[in-house]
């Protein structure tokens, strides 16, 4: 008679307990639930269906949108440092601040000999910075490079799209204004720069549509109060409107239709452009 190989069932039972497994499985599930609950409490996370804090937060945000809150109330804090800030703190950039009667920047190298393909995207990435001196240095340096770049700026346009988009996505009023001034300078820096930027309108312009919606809604809720933004040159809608008009003027025949597609409330400022309907 053939002998069956393998450990004896009685021996296994005596060493490891019952082979049924049901009580042991229930205990492991309870232990796992207790461990998960402990880890959840330690990390500060709560289940989505426990309590109404998250739903309450969503309700508050929705009510603020319905009331037409100012765009500054929706600023997004970006904790990551820009590429410009990293290079500036390491001393890699050929620029410094001159503190005199008027604060200005000084170039350590001849600006006409700089590699625009390398330096211009770095300086544009610093436009998202909201703290001094980074915002001042990045903005002033970018304007200088666009002023004296000439045809070298045209080749760098595709590399400037993502830094510009990240700066606009901060939804900071001051940052948006600086980006608008840079866009005006960019489209007029060299021939065909405005036309080269048209294919990237879908990445840059959505935040401008957001500005039109939020700011116009906030102004409509002023009631009997007076808005002094025009006198102080602090009207964000006018800044964006002027920027779009300059972009349309230098963007060629396809500029208006692309702007209108993303910002429906925009009207052409160029004579001879027929409405879309």
Q: Running DSSP on this structure, what letter comes out for residue 153?
A: G
Q: What is the pLDDT along the chain (277 residues), one digit of tens a residue?
A: 455 555 555 544 444 444 444 444 444 555 556 666 655 555 455 554 444 444 455 545 444 444 444 444 444 445 467 889 999 888 888 998 888 788 888 898 988 899 999 999 999 999 999 888 899 999 999 999 999 988 899 999 999 999 999 999 988 889 999 999 999 999 999 999 999 999 999 999 999 988 888 766 545 444 555 555 555 556 788 889 999 999 999 998 899 999 999 998 888 877 555 444 4
- The pLDDT value recorded for residue 74 is 44
Maximum pairwise Cα distance, the chain:
108
Rounded to an integer, what is the distance from CA 173 to the centroid of its chain? 13
At residue 19, the pLDDT reads 45
What is the reported pLDDT for 36?
63
114 phi, psi to nearest 5 deg = -75, 150
pTM (whole model) above 0.75? no
What is the crossing angle of helices 134-149 and 83-90, to 10°? 100
* Secondary structure (3-state) at 139: helix
pLDDT of residue 224: 52
> Quick one: pLDDT at residue 34?
60
pLDDT at 235: 79
pLDDT for 132: 85
Rounded to whole angstroms, the Cα distance separating 159 from 166 reads 12
Say how far apart CA 132 and CA 170 lie, in whole Å. 16
Q: Which residues lie closer than 8 Å to 214 by C-beta, 6 or more apart?
A: 68, 69, 70, 71, 74
CA distance 145 to 141: 6
Q: How far apart are CA 49 and CA 68, in angstroms?
A: 29
């Amino acid at each position: 008679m053939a002998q069956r190989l393998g450990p004896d069932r009685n021996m296994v039972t005596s060493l490891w307990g019952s082979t049924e497994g049901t009580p042991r499985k229930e205990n492991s599930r309870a232990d796992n639930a207790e461990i998960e609950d402990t880890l959840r409490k330690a990390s500060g996370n709560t289940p989505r269906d426990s309590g109404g804090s998250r739903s309450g937060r969503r309700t508050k945000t929705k009510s603020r949108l319905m009331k037409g809150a100012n765009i500054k109330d929706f600023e997004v804090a970006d904790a990551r440092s820009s590429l410009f800030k990293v290079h500036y703190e390491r001393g890699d950039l050929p620029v410094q601040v001159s503190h005199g009667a008027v604060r200005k920047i000084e170039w350590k190298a001849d600006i006409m000999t700089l590699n625009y393909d390398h330096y211009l995207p770095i300086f544009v990435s610093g436009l998202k910075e909201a703290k001094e001196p980074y915002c001042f240095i990045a903005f002033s340096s970018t304007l200088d490079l666009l002023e004296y770049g000439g045809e070298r700026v045209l080749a760098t346009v595709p590399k400037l799209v993502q830094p510009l988009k990240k700066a606009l996505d901060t939804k900071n009023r001051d940052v948006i204004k600086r980006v608008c001034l840079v866009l005006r300078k960019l489209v007029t820096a060299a021939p065909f720069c405005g036309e080269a930027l048209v294919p990237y309108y879908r990445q840059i312009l959505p935040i401008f549509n957001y500005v039109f919606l939020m700011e116009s809604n906030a102004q409509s809720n002023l009631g009997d109060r007076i808005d002094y933004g025009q006198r102080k040159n602090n009207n964000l809608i006018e800044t964006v409107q002027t920027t779009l008009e300059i972009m349309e003027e230098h963007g060629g025949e396809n500029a208006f239709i692309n702007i209108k597609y993303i910002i429906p409330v925009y009207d052409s400022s160029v004579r001879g452009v027929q409405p879309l309907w």
